[in-house]
Chains A and B, each alone.
Chain A
Amino acid sequence: MTKVKEGSIIDNQVEVKTYPSIEHGNLININSIVLHRTDSSNATSTLNAYAKGKKAGAHFLIDKSGKIYQTAGMQKICWHVGIMKPRCEIEENCDPAELKTITALIHEKGLSFGRRARNLSRHEANKAYPLRYPTNKDSLGIEVVGRFNPAKKSFEKPTAQQLKSVKWLVDVLVQQFKLNLRNDVFSHGAIARKEVSEGAQLLQYVFSGAVE
């Protein structure tokens, strides 16, 4: 029987080995889950980077074998989201004043692309969830090992074991934190300034049980 105790999943499918370098303060509310890909071909490179003091990371990592590592406590903030996209612009439901503000931020003269995207992300972060996409301060992150292919603009297809593990883990977390599977689980590429395909195959599997 799976249990959650002091921010850790207690289950023989999960190896808990947390890395202080990727834990940044207390995570008070968990509103959502973000599905990531590592852009690496094995878990070792990610775990080694955490061990060497890398600051960005996610709460869970799933290797190609389907093995689940818990790499940060669920009561801790991880820096896994990055620069957010404006939700109301993507979903085409901004009120006119908000759309004007977003447009002004992305076209602000004299600022670099990076600065403008960061400013817009900060503006988004001031909104309450679910008016915006998840932030580091209210979400859990799951990394799934897989390399990006720039020629195809897609990540390598997750293994059957990875898909089974991510589905199991998402179901455990949705139940534990009383989330809505359809509304509160996101692919990283859909919500942040990352490759659009990041996490899309995982989300498709979590929703439908199949991947194209």
Chain B
Amino acid sequence: MNRLQGWLVFLALFFILSCQAAQTGDVTVLSMKKLIDTKVASHKMCHDFLLSKSDVVNYFKQATQVDGVEFNAQAMILPCKYTGALTMNGKQFKWEIMAGGAGYLFNKTINNRYLCKGKCCQVIKGLC
């Protein structure tokens, strides 16, 4: 491998790692509050649903982003959620994380869906 090829490999690796960092980058939770929809059946199951700010950060690093079709098929929407605002990579979003592991991240231009599965459920105790 000559010097030019070496630089190209380095640049390619740098680009790939930068993209990964952008996807799971810095998350700062600006606000959070717990909401329970008392009009929905079985809402009393929500009393033991507790998330911390670090759980929210971990959620958006560990949860899988999915498209609407997959979210619609797999997400379980329970009547308990945490909601608030956060910044990710310098951009501000509103977020929701529901008991069971479904979540939203959105602002005026972004409307993303997430599911917490596998390792994500192990990292965030009591979510799934």
Contact = CB atoms under 8 A, between A and B. Distances in A.
B127 to A, nearest CB: 8
Interface residues of B, number: 34
Interface in A72-101: 82-83, 85-86, 89-90
Interface residues of A, number: 37
B72 interface: yes
Contacts of B106: 150-151
A196 B77 CA distance: 9
A120 B70 CA distance: 23
A7 to B, nearest CB: 22
Given A54-B73, A106-B44, A195-B77, A147 B128 contact: no
Interface in B16-65: 37, 39-42, 44-45, 49
Given A57-B73, A89-B41, A194-B77, 18 more contacts: A45-B67, A54-B69, A83-B76, A85-B41, A86-B42, A106-B44, A112-B126, A113-B45, A113-B49, A113-B100, A114-B100, A116-B45, A117-B42, A147-B68, A148-B68, A151-B94, A193-B100, A196-B37
Interface of B: 37, 39-42, 44-45, 49, 67-78, 80, 94, 96, 99-101, 104, 106, 111, 113, 121, 126-128
